[in-house]
Amino acid sequence: MQSMASSSVSVAAIPERRRPAAIEFVRQIFVVMVKDLRAEFRTKEAINASLAFALVILLLFSFAFEEETTRDISGGLLWIVFAFAGTLILNRSFAREQPNDCLDALIAAPVPAAALFLGKALANYFLVLAVELVSLPVFGIFHNVNWTRQFWQLMVVVALGTWALTVIGTIFSALTVNIRLREVMLPMLTYPILIPALLAAMMLTTDLVAGKPIGPDTVSWLKMLIGFDIIYTAVSVVLVEVILVG
């Protein structure tokens, strides 16, 4: 009886031992995320450049395409703007840590590489998402498009597509941080891998902006987008320590 009681106590104690480690991991992610958001909002370099770029491109596209053409290519137009504007933010993710050897200090800190990566990815995610949410009403005004007819489904697609862009951009930002031409190398590495996610987001967004909900014909694109997010997030978390530490 005593052995059974002791075994039950030890089994019951296992979750209690694991819980603090998980909570600490989440806390580290949150600390890194808040640090990056504070650093960006202090200077506003990347977000101002990204937002200005997105608005200028949307304005130029409004002169280049007629309203009917814009409705037909709305998904591709929006995600091209999102992808290029997002790169301006993602490129600064690890580059801002280079002065005063801050990146070396972060790598040497008692923080798992996965927590460092996820914290930076979440900070980038909120910054890119903020630029996109500002760009959507501007897109509707410049191109005379009512993009709110399937609002919540569109927000789901934007959230999933933005995470795909962010997770790939953040891991390649870590990979190219020490390269002299990282501004050129980051998009060259990011966009080819993003093709499946961007294609799915474009197809879904075009139908949703036109007022068509996600149905049997388009749900496969949604599944592809979700699968892309899960797979590449897991791969990035596994490989980030090798990329940062070597």
Q: How far is CA 158 from CA 57, 58, 208, 225, in A?
A: 19, 17, 11, 11
Per-residue pLDDT, 246:
63
Q: Taking phi first (over 0 means left), then psi (-120 to 50 degrees means alpha), and beta for anything else, what does residue 164 get?
A: alpha
Distance CA 244, CA 47 (A): 25
Distance CA 87, CA 74 (A): 20
Distance CA 75, CA 70 (A): 9
Q: Per-residue pLDDT tens for 44-98?
A: 888 999 999 999 999 998 888 877 777 788 889 999 999 999 998 998 888 777 7
Q: For residue 32, give the nearest of 87, 106, 98, 101 by alpha carbon.
A: 106
> Domain span at residue 213?
2-245
Q: Model-level pTM?
A: 0.87
Distance CA 70, CA 78 (A): 10
Tally the domains of the chain: 1
